[in-house]
Amino acid sequence: MSTQIPTQSRTAATPPRRTLGRTVKNYVALTKPRVMELLLVVTVPAMILAAGGLPNLWLVLATLIGGAMSAGSAGSFNCYIDRDMDRKMKRTENRPLVTGEISDRNALVFSWVLGVLSVAWLLLTTNWLAAALSAAAIFFYVVIYTLLLKRHSEQNIIWGGIAGCFPVLIGWAAVTGDLAWPAWIFFLIIFLWTPAHYWPLSMRYRDDYAAAGVPMLGVVRGRVTVGLQVILYTWATVASSLLLIPVAPMGWVYTVVALAAGAHFIIEAHRLYGSAIRGREGKPMRVFHGSITYLSLLSLAIAIDPLLPF
């Protein structure tokens, strides 16, 4: 008979020592810094594209600070609302609200303070439109995705993923004070990319999501269906990325990267589907990480292209 003590029992029996450094680390963890990092990756390219070159560096810094607080607030609210599910999932069992290193009340206060500060900061340092978009992003992620969709719909990540598209609009609005077609196309790229990025993760952590009662597509549908949906959204993402070429307009650097990185993204999606129809799990995390690489390369190309003299 196993004598291993469950994680929560070990935590309760030997709580970690609370130091200032550990407390700060736990509050940072509440903001989901990896998600925040990915969101900020698209903000600067959107600002460069909007400016047609390098925008004011102070404006870039101010927008990144406001965007980080906005994304951090949304992530923290999500951790607070989903703390019951996080206790049932292995991949989230070390989050600070699960281990008890941050109280529910403190997490909620922190979420509100960070959200209000993000809107106020962007209003003072950029313009009202960027601030309003920041508030809308928090609302969409917390209310539409986390509260209304996540526990009730297999399509949750499609519409909830809209929140992850807002940093592009915030960055563009901070530079121009309005929203033009290139900003909306960049928005569309990320909107279509999100399911192709996230559904492979739901395949990998199918048991985790099932245990928590989250109807992710990877839980309620078979691998073949999920694999096919990943293919469809991958093709749609790559196709939408090509719309920037005539509309922005973009040059040869972006065109080459969009085609090459897009082709690789599509190939990996087809490999995942090919494994599924053969009754094998395949490598969903390869598609997941590959999708991050794809968006990063595309964003880098968007940032570089307007800076070139030809």
Domain boundaries, given as residue ranges, for the chain: 29-179, 180-310
| Closest to 274 measured CA to CA, from 216, 219, 230 | 230
| Percent of residues in the chain assigned helix, strand, coil, to nearest 5 | 80, 0, 20
For residue 13, is pLDDT > 80?
no
pTM for this predicted structure: 0.88
- 180-310 — its CATH code? 1.20.120.1780
Calpha distance 194→167 (Å, rounded)? 14
Question: Does domain 29-179 match CATH 1.20.1640.10?
Answer: no
Calpha distance 255→304 (Å, rounded)? 12
At 76-102, the pLDDT tens digits run 999 999 898 888 888 788 889 988 899
Q: What percent of the chain has pLDDT over 70?
A: 94
Calpha distance 71→65 (Å, rounded)? 10
Residue 75 CA to its chain's centroid (Å): 10
Q: Say if residue 182 is preceded by a cis peptide, omega within 30 of 0.
A: no
**What is the pLDDT averaged over residues 41-47?**
94
Calpha distance 280→271 (Å, rounded)? 11
* CA dist list (Å): 157 to 30, 144, 163: 20, 11, 10
Structure tokens, 2: 């196993």
For residue 238, is pLDDT > 70?
yes
At 170-215, the pLDDT tens digits run 999 999 999 999 999 999 999 999 999 988 988 887 877 787 787 8
